[in-house]
Every structure is written in structure tokens, then in C-alpha cells.
Amino acid sequence: MNARIPEMRSTEELREKWMKPEVITGSDILLRSLVLEGVDCVFGYPGGAVLYIYDALYGFNDFHHLLTRHEQGAIHAADGYARASGKVGVCIATSGPGATNLVTGIATAYMDSVPLVVITGNVATTLIGTDAFQEADITGITMPITKHSYLVRDVKDLPRVIHEAFHIANTGRKGPVLIDIPKDVSAAKTLFNPVETLNLRGYNPTVQPNRLQLDKLQAAISEAERPVIIAGGGVIYSGGHEALFEFVNNTGIPITTTLLGLGAFPSGHELWMGMPGMHGTFTANHGIQEADLLINIGARFDDRVTGALGGFAPLAKIVHIDIDPAEIGKNVPADIPIVGDAKTVLELLNQNPVYTEKADAWRQTIQTRKQEKPLKYIDSDTELKPQWVIEHLNETTHGQAIVTTDVGQHQMWAAQYYKFNQPRSWITSGGLGTMGFGFPSAIGAQMAHPERLVISINGDGGMQMCSQELAICAINKIPVKIVVINNQVLGMVRQWQELIYENRYSHIDLAGSPDFVKLAEAYGVKGLRATNKEEAKKIWQEALETPGPVLVEFVVRKGENVYPMVTQGSTIDQMLMGDSE
């Protein structure tokens, strides 16, 4: 990769440089504190209320600041950085509209438990509450979608607040924390004394599980004849993928991974059943419905996984392992609730492994179903099918790329047909379903991993929501491969209107969209287009061989649907399998 990302000095060098007490401004305190928290990249957009901060950034080179073209691009990039790296993502925006432009991105991170520290400027403390120019109560606005928020009124509090914010964001159930800094606080001076201690009364996430509950789970495993594991994003966020692999091999339990859990377990493993839920596999959905023991590890029983709750896993004893006690029993009652960190729980279970000897026939049933009911579609020699495109991306990259997506049909096809074998290689908006997320999150992922191939898969709708960030790819030579699956329509909405709303296609036509190749070229990014398989193979190879960013448009069949599909109100084994059946 030839992105313009400066080399960072070692953490030890930076700590020695910035730990010494000194009288400095709040803005300088902020920058030093970010360095001491290990930050190496910040995404932001300046404005009046953060001008002191950006003045302090002038000539500052102890972390990289990436100027996006919209605040939403900044926070989605910070989100992608956090998901790809496992570190806390950081973004900066000014007061008022700058801060409110972050709200969708904050909600996206909150729903998917992504650790962010979001820094906003505000009007001077003397003007708060007066409806001053570009004033917004951003702490109030974001209260339901942050783990915690701070309005800093005294510059002396900044070191403590920043240290606490990083700790809160990246512990327990991870999530975004907002720090709102009035302009006079960023300008004020005080003696900087770095803070390395914590005293957070009432905040003490449960990491270690109850041993008695683990014993109950072990006993249930030994008696199970049709056990199933559902693994979610919590496994990845805890770093528990290796422990999960060991647990599955120890127990012999078939496993399905949720949309956000993809990559937590290798897709090539014989016990992996695919993704469950609305667009899940036949094997995974029927496995859940027939299971006598269902072990949920780090997933929240989202409605897109469960379908009709009254008919979900009707035969199963439910085990729910989650670090957030509020999730256990919220949607699906748990027979064996286990509060704790997923990695810690799995490691403890692996100390005394129990193999499911009674499940031999069940494992054979799973293997038979995988062979008889695979994901499939009707291919074409005349039209470019989106499923084929994703398969081709997977084959040519050997499943080794970091893949980000926007939201819609292309997202589901990518989840189905790209095969993930390692964590933090799949970045998508799950809980909020945020269009516009895919492309800027890929920029953040590439900044986190400059050495890896990053592919951003987008629909023609979502691509237009943050396409302005093409500029920073060109300027900074960030070599994301930007894929646009162009079906000239809001595809997932069209699919629902076809199947549920009796072909009443209302306001979904995107035929007036720009020429994406010309749009890319206007920003200084190479643009390529394919309308058939031969063109697709040729231009994708050209994109892979191009050192910088490339936008590749695949013009696909307009009326293609995502199958399998479970309609709302149905149980997850009531699946529409599509024309291929």
C-alpha cells in the first residue's frame, strides 16, 4: 500500500515526550491525552468551536489526522478503523451541525457495540443555553445512543475525562462515548498532569462468569442430542475467536454465526452451518428450530435472527452468554443465563471440555443438509449476476481481504457468498442498517491495516450517500477497491415491494444516478465498468493490480432477489427459497 500515512514513533518514545507536567491549553491537553491513549489516527472536520483544537493540530505529527469531506464520513471511518483494529476509533467535529451530523454514525456504533470516542466542540460555557450560533445540546441529543457522555466545563477535568472515556468505550459491552468541549475550555490553560488511574463508581462490568452456571452448561452439553451454537459479534469484540474454535472442536457442536459474527469461526469448517435468520441458510435455520440445546455466545437474539419470537427454537433449552446482563432474557428467555466476557467464558469451558457423544446422528444430519441445501442461484451467460460477482471477488482474493459493505441486497449477497475465515475482516452495519456506512468505513479499515487489501462493496444507492469521500482516497492514496453493485434500483426495498406489497414499486428507481466511472475520475480515482463476466474478470484483475484506489462498477440484473428469505411474522424455518428451488 502506498497511502500517505506517516510513520509513528513508538509508544514509549511518545509517553516520555508527553508525560511531563506542563502549563498548556485544553487543546494541547486533548492531543497529548489522545497520544497517551495510544491513538494513531483521528478522523475529523474543523469548524468554529474546534478552531483552538485544530490550531494545536498545526504541525502536530504524533498521530495522523484525516480530513474527511463530511462529518458522517469521519465517524463511519472511525467506526471502520475500530472494527478492523480492535482499538478505539476517534473522530472530531465542531458544534451544532457538525455535531449533529455525527448522530447517525454514533447510533450505528452503539447498536453494533463499537468502541468510539467522539469529540465535539461547543460554544463557550458562558453561552450554553442561550441558543448561540451553532449551539446544540449534543450530550442531550445523543444520550440514548452513547455509553456515556461528558460536557467538560473545567479544563482541569480534561485529562481525567479523556482517560475515563477510553476505558468506558473499550470495556464491558463496548460502545461510543462522547466528549463535548466548549470553546473556552479548549482555549484555557492549566497544569497538565496525565491521569493513569480510574475511579468509576458504579461501572464494573462482569467479566468472570458464575462457575455454577458453567457447570449447568457442561451438564446440558453432555445430555444434548441436537445442540447448536449461535456466535455473534461479541466473540470477535472480546478476542474470543480462538477459544471459540477450540470449544467447537472440543464439543463437536454445529455452529452458526450471525451477520456481525461472520469471521468469528472459519467458514470452511465442517461444523459451520452458515448464517442464520432472515437471509440465513437452510441448514442454520432448520438446525436452530430442531435443536434441543441452543448456546448463544455474544449475540443479542436480534429480530432478523429470530423471526417470529413465539416460534423461535421451540424445542431448545436456551443458554445465553453475554457481557451485558440487560441483553439476557430481553428477547428470548434464557434457561441458563451466563453473564461474562465471551473469551473468558470459553476459555474456562475449554479447561474441562465435554464432547457431545449423543449428537453423532445430528452432526450427520447437518452434513447432509449442507450438501443437499446449499446457497444457490440461477446463473446467466448474458447478464451479470451479483452473486457471481461476490463469488469472483472471494475466489480471486482467497477470502483474505477485509470486506466492508453498505446496506441492502449487496450486503446480504456479500455475507452469503464471501467466505470469511478470520475475525475483523467483515465490517458492516448490522443493528442500525445505515446506508452510507460502507465506503467511509473501508477508509478507516485501510488506515488501520495499510498492508491489507480492503474491498468496499456498495449498492448504487448507498454509494451516493458518502461518495464525496472519494476525494480523500485520491489525495491520500488510500488504495481501497470500491465495488458498486449497480442494479439501478433500491434493491432490497424493491424485493419487499415485489414479495410483500404485490409489485407496487413505489419510489425506488435510481436510473438517474451518476455515471460512477466518471464520478470516480472527477475525484481523481480510477474508474472501471463491467456488464458481463468476461469484462468483470478483466477489470477486477486490473483493479487488483492497480496500486491506488479504484472504483469498479458491476452492472447487474435489476430484478435479482436475495434468497433464502424469511418474511416478517414467519418463523425462520418458513423460508422462501427462490427460483433455484
400 included as an active-site residue: no
Pairing of strands 317-322, 526-530: unpaired
Q: Single out the catalytic residue among 37, 71, 135, 327.
A: 71
Q: Are 105 and 97 in contact (CB under 8 A)?
A: no
Largest CA distance in the chain: 72
Burial label for 238, CB within 10 Å (0-12, 13-18, 19+), is buried
Q: Single out the catalytic residue among 133, 395, 568, 577.
A: 133
Rounded CA-CA distance 576/565 in Å is 5
Beta carbons within 10 angstroms of residue 554's beta carbon: 28
Beta carbons within 10 angstroms of residue 373's beta carbon: 17
Burial label for 169, CB within 10 Å (0-12, 13-18, 19+), is buried
Q: What Å distances lie between residue 126 and 22, 54, 131, 185, 205, CA to CA?
A: 27, 22, 11, 11, 37
Q: Are 297 and 230 in contact (CB under 8 A)?
A: yes
- Who's near 360: CB < 8 A, 6+ residues apart? none
Beta carbons within 10 angstroms of residue 518's beta carbon: 9
> Nearest-CA neighbor of 250 among 355, 179, 175, 333?
355
497 included as an active-site residue: no
What are the b/e assignments for 42-73, b being 16+ CB within 10 Å?
A: bbbbbbebbbbbbbbbeeeebbbbbebbbbbb
Quick one: three-class SS letters along 209-228?
Answer: CCHHHHHHHHHHHHHCCCEE
Q: Single out the catalytic residue among 183, 343, 481, 533.
A: 183
Beta carbons within 10 angstroms of residue 210's beta carbon: 13
545 included as an active-site residue: no
Q: Are 68 and 20 in contact (CB under 8 A)?
A: no
183 included as an active-site residue: yes
Grid coordinates representing 229? 451454537
Type and span of the H or E element at 161: helix 158-169
330 included as an active-site residue: no
Q: Single out the catalytic residue among 1, 19, 134, 422.
A: 134
Terminal-residue alpha carbon distance, the chain: 44
Number of continuous H segments (helices) and E segments (strands) in the chain: 23, 19
Q: Please give the DSSP secondary-structure letter assigned to residue 250.
A: H
How would you list the strands of the sheet with 255-257, edge to edge?
255-257, 227-231, 293-297, 317-322, 336-339
Hey, what amino acid is at 529?
R
Q: Single out the catalytic residue among 492, 533, 554, 560.
A: 492
Burial label for 6, CB within 10 Å (0-12, 13-18, 19+), is exposed
Rounded CA-CA distance 558/385 in Å is 9
Residues designated catalytic: 71, 133-134, 183, 492
